[in-house]
Structure 1
């Protein structure tokens, strides 16, 4: 039986991913702030939660993130930036996940295909940025993308069959996006989960360390 670990399982996409994996017959372990006290703002809680699980897991998915700190919205201009707010977004979207990914070499199998999917966002793409704005969120996801790329390179030396992927889930109808009205329909969480798992299932070790959207199209860094 395939073993899967979903980190951020109390969020809308994380919950749907855990349910979809279980429906496919996987043995699913979940970690979250509400369920296990894993707070991406607190390195001690990250370490405690990650040390509580034992691999190997053939599938690991990190499904965490914030658009903005509570009471704030993504900045539309440089003038709206302030240091503490930006630092918190960076902590939750980049630094915290990096501390989680430190455990990937221990939790993934050394041989046999495995996948590590990390939810990023298309707005974190530098090459695709044509509108500006959303500075803290964009910067935090761009930083995360660099960590994902580096993780893939390092794991490729010791876990040759592993696939590491940054994933853009689309705009999903969750509390995360409740205040954001896109120019297209939002995806239901279960549909987003189905699409993301389908993308991960198709990727090969030769495609590790790259950035994919929920329809399987590569996103530029």
Structure 2
């Protein structure tokens, strides 16, 4: 079978990393992965002091702090995760839509340099630096994945409503980084898959101010979204690297 037709095999998932493990989706991903792959070594990284409240934390699950604004910290965490072997799955579950005075813009009048820089830092620069240090640690002997949470609103061709300038632009920029990283990584690691993931609208602090507009049945519990995302990842092949996919496996247009 051609390497580009090979999917991520559950049996090969031995070393897994979740970055942003203290957020709603990050926590759910950790729980789903522990349940699905009990024999895998799983690292959870977060910048906060409080982590999981798992009733029974498996011996193979470890957590550590990471400073997203300190590249040395990112590099140290990548090396730590790869100490026991190459990485089979890395998921970046970080990002912001609103925070404090930062809210999605309804018009050009709401734009500010400070807000735009904050969203670019969280939604594009941080995942880019994580890609820089974690992608080289991906397994070259079997199919491996680096995935970062993106958003459907980052699609330029799918934008029919406008607004949300900084968030849309930061996610579009992230999608370009994913595309670039997919092209470059394929030259050195043909079995690697580099993708963006749209988790759907998840019942979390990020979506709470906007949940009134979510259609019935489209507001997901974090654990449901996590399982949808994992199912999507298990169906991808290396010839789909550099693209962005929704929770249901559908490719999102650039």
TM-score range, shorter chain: over 0.9
Q: CA deviation at 1:209?
A: 1.1
1:24 and 1:8 mapped to 2: Cα distance? 19
Q: CA deviation at 1:52?
A: 3.3
Q: 1:33 maps to what in 2?
A: 47
Q: CA deviation at 1:139?
A: 0.5
Normalising by structure 1, we get a TM-score of 0.94
Q: 1:22 maps to what in 2?
A: 34
Q: 2:74 maps to what in 1?
A: 46
Q: 1:123 maps to what in 2?
A: 153
- 1:188-207 → structure 2 map (5 Å cutoff): 188-207=221-240
1:68 aligns with 2:68: no
Of structures 1 and 2, the larger Rg is shown by: 2
2:178 and 2:116 mapped to 1: Cα distance? 20
Q: CA deviation at 1:2?
A: 1.8
User: Number of matched residues?
Assistant: 221
Is the 1:69–1:85 Cα contact (8 Å) retained in structure 2?
no
1:162 and 1:51 mapped to 2: Cα distance? 18
Normalising by structure 2, we get a TM-score of 0.82
Is the 1:121–1:168 Cα contact (8 Å) retained in structure 2?
yes
Which 10-residue stretch deviates more, 27-36 or 127-136?
A: 27-36
Could you list the runs of 5+ residues in structure 2 that have no partner in the other structure? 1-12, 50-63
1:3 aligns with 2:36: no
Q: CA deviation at 1:206?
A: 1.2
2:201 and 2:67 mapped to 1: Cα distance? 24
- 1:13-162 → structure 2 map (5 Å cutoff): 13-25=25-37, 26-35=40-49, 36-54=64-82, 55-162=85-192
Is the 2:91–2:148 Cα contact (8 Å) retained in structure 1?
yes
CA 1:44–1:77: 2 relative to 1, 3 Å: farther
Q: CA deviation at 1:71?
A: 2.5
2:19 and 2:198 mapped to 1: Cα distance? 16
Q: CA deviation at 1:44?
A: 4.4
Q: CA deviation at 1:53?
A: 2.6
Residue 194 of structure 2 aligns to a residue whose secondary structure is: strand
Which 10-residue stretch deviates more, 22-31 or 166-175?
A: 22-31
1:73 and 1:63 mapped to 2: Cα distance? 20
Which 10-residue stretch deviates more, 48-57 or 73-82?
A: 48-57
Which 10-residue stretch deviates more, 40-49 or 23-32?
A: 40-49
Is the 1:16–1:193 Cα contact (8 Å) retained in structure 2?
yes
Which 10-residue stretch deviates more, 132-141 or 96-105?
A: 96-105
